[in-house]
Structure 1
């Protein structure tokens, strides 16, 4: 089969996936499998090879990241049950003060809290951010909303154990420790620069409260996170039961007896172990026990077990079990979606697209990374899903990386960066930010769409020189 015919059919398959999702509202999982099946048959892989490649691609990506995603989501669900996020916001406010809060909150969410499912993390943190917005100065709502949008979206594509990060690393064969270190090096300047630029333009007149904010007071507010003054006040963030599953008295017991650093210590320990493993790999040091403990699956398992043990003491076994059940429910769709993304990528690779595209690029140019970014951006504009666009774009060009000598970690980061471009009205995050932060659609287009798109552009501008230096 001619190279042109393979390229055309790959484009048709991807376009069909977009049309199925956007026009016919077909489930993304089904759409991706249909696209993979069409591509396999259209490129004459044969029925048997097509089916084997689809199932093999699913199994291969699950073997890489299935347990990691499950452990990360479960850990996040238990942290949510322990009210860790509300307490963390209060600690950040007391430590950094109101003016630095957007930077402190965005960096913390982007780097530390990615085990928590994005929508859940947004629902927990947005009411606190909205209540604190008037205290940080001019255009406070805009600045806090932008900080949340940028940190949440960047975190899931750049930082371990963000679900899209795990999927990208698995698809491209990037060691998770390496992905975490490179992602951290990238995400810090991206978040800081993006929040700083957006804050500057908002403070200098690009935010109109009468047009960009809803003029309706929220029905429930949360007091400024300070030291609790009334242990029976459910609106105090130190005591507030955001989960709705426990009473005030039980939540008081959590906050009085369990320090925040203790609640977060298993998650932090897991991340440190993964980072240590990555450093040892780079240094070519072999320590069997350390290598075992620092392997991502074992490290996250240790984090999950530690979090559950602390939660059992803090909130009781019944609530731990409820949190785990919720986590299993949330992780199911993520796992299947990640797996079928691997199926499409496997069929694309089997069809030979990588060999074709590899002839057009050389490792001495930035074209491959810019191509990955552009494809992911276009897919995100069409589909509205950061995860789907990142996985699909990486799958299309994953076979190119080894052919041209480009480190796959940069392909993964470029795909993640492109998938951030133009978060708009097809995104659930967009509408959650609008309602929870009290913005109009016009205001949300500024804080979410423009803010995250700026982060996308800044990210690729950093990734390209990183690929030459690192």
Structure 2
């Protein structure tokens, strides 16, 4: 089959998946499988090999990320039940003044708290952000709304065990520890830089409190964590911090060439999250009623199920794209320069997100389509993953459930959300490419 036919069939597949999701209203999971079947059959793989590509892609990705996603979501659900989030935010209030609080808040949400499912994290932290927005002076609401949007969306695609970051690492067969280290650097730089830019623009007229803010808090005020009966913060947060430290420890040891059975075992992200999950479960059973612990587990299993299916079928399409040989063809169209290929990954993810509205779907599809060619150009796949994640943040708009949650749960109108969410996260999508390109050049 000619190069043009392979390119055309791949483009038709991606467009077809978008049309099925948007126009026909088919579930993204089904649309992705149908796209993979079409691409395999028209590209000459044949029925048997097409089915094998689909099942292999799903199975390989689940073997890579399935337990990590499940353990991460369950750990996050227990952290929420233990009140760790409320207490952590209250501690931030005491440690940081009004000027720096939004930066600390956004960075914490985008890094430390990424094991918690995004919608749950938003529902829990939104009342706290709303209350804090009234305490930090002029443009406080604007800054906290932007900090919340940046923390949730940026962390989702860059920081393990955020669902998007885990899925990207799995699609590209990346060490999760490596994704964690480079992702944290990218996320913190992006959140702080973008929030500083938004703050400057808000002070110069971008944000109009009369039109962009609601007069009353959209959600009920929450009482300070200190007035509620929670386990001590150090105890509640220790399982999550231990898991993250073990992941970072494993990644650093791997980069330094340090290896032993104990180091490799404890530094494995699945084992690290399992240790954290067992610790959180022990604390929850010690400090919480049995019914509350069971409810947290039930909520975690419900949330992880839909994530696992969507991630797995994204792997099916990525494997089919790889098997039709697109990566081999693309390598002839690029040089060893990292700038253009990574910008192409960003652009594909951005277009997919604008069309579909799913950050995770856009990022893993872009990474799956273009990821196989990058090692041939000398580009580390971790930067492909980060570029795909960055592109998938472009134009968070009305098709996104997160957009409406951020609008309704925070003290802002729809007009304000278009500024604090759509405009700000789109700026983060572009700004993130600065550290990604710099690190790709250096490493």
Which TM-score band applies after superposition, normalised by the shorter structure? Answer: over 0.9
Equivalent residue of 1:423, what SS? coil
Contact 1:398-1:408 within 8 A present in 2 as well: yes
Q: Which runs of 5+ in 1 are unaligned?
A: 223-234, 241-251
Deviation string for 1:186-209 (max 9, x for gaps)? 111111101111011112221111
Deviation string for 1:372-410 (max 9, x for gaps)? 000000111111111000010001101112221210000
* Paired position in structure 2 for 1:227: none
| Structure 1 residue 216 displacement after superposition | 4.4
Aligned: 1:369 with 2:357: no
Q: CA RMSD in A?
A: 1.2
Contact 1:86-1:238 within 8 A present in 2 as well: no
Structure 1 residues 351 and 108: alpha-carbon distance in aligned structure 2, compared to 1, 3 A threshold: same
Determine which of 398, 404, 422 is the counterpart of 2:377.
Answer: 404
Deviation string for 1:299-322 (max 9, x for gaps)? 110010001111111213332121
Structure 1 residues 217 and 276: alpha-carbon distance in aligned structure 2, compared to 1, 3 A threshold: closer
Determine which of 292, 317, 321 is the counterpart of 1:348.
Answer: 321
| Structure 1 residue 469 displacement after superposition | 0.7
* Paired position in structure 2 for 1:300: 273
Aligned mates of 2:8, 2:58 — CA distance in 1 = 24
Equivalent residue of 1:168, what SS? helix
Equivalent residue of 2:205, what SS? coil
Aligned: 1:317 with 2:290: yes
Determine which of 226, 238, 252 is the counterpart of 1:238.
Answer: 226
Aligned: 1:469 with 2:426: no
Aligned: 1:414 with 2:414: no
Contact 1:89-1:105 within 8 A present in 2 as well: yes
| Structure 1 residue 268 displacement after superposition | 0.9
Deviation string for 1:431-465 (max 9, x for gaps)? 11111113221110000001101111010122112
* Paired position in structure 2 for 1:34: 34
Equivalent residue of 1:114, what SS? coil
For structure 1, which segment, 185-194 or 329-338, has the greater mean C-alpha deviation from structure 2 after superposition? Answer: 185-194
| Structure 1 residue 173 displacement after superposition | 1.3
Aligned mates of 1:316, 1:298 — CA distance in 2 = 27
Aligned mates of 1:218, 1:39 — CA distance in 2 = 46
* Paired position in structure 2 for 1:275: 248
- In the superposition, the TM-score normalised over structure 1's length comes to 0.92
Aligned mates of 2:266, 2:201 — CA distance in 1 = 46
| Structure 1 residue 212 displacement after superposition | 1.0
Contact 2:338-2:440 within 8 A present in 1 as well: no
Contact 2:218-2:410 within 8 A present in 1 as well: no
Aligned mates of 1:214, 1:188 — CA distance in 2 = 29
Equivalent residue of 1:151, what SS? helix
Structure 1 residues 381 and 373: alpha-carbon distance in aligned structure 2, compared to 1, 3 A threshold: same
Equivalent residue of 1:115, what SS? coil
* Paired position in structure 2 for 1:263: 236
| Structure 1 residue 286 displacement after superposition | 1.8
- In the superposition, the TM-score normalised over structure 2's length comes to 0.98
Aligned length: 443
Equivalent residue of 1:136, what SS? coil
Aligned mates of 1:219, 1:465 — CA distance in 2 = 41
Aligned mates of 2:422, 2:355 — CA distance in 1 = 14
Aligned mates of 1:313, 1:365 — CA distance in 2 = 52
Equivalent residue of 1:238, what SS? helix
* Paired position in structure 2 for 1:455: 428
* Paired position in structure 2 for 1:178: 178
- The list of structure 1 runs, each at least 4 consecutive aligned residues, that deviate by more than 4 angstroms after superposition, is none
Aligned mates of 2:203, 2:284 — CA distance in 1 = 42
Aligned mates of 1:440, 1:274 — CA distance in 2 = 39
Equivalent residue of 1:310, what SS? helix
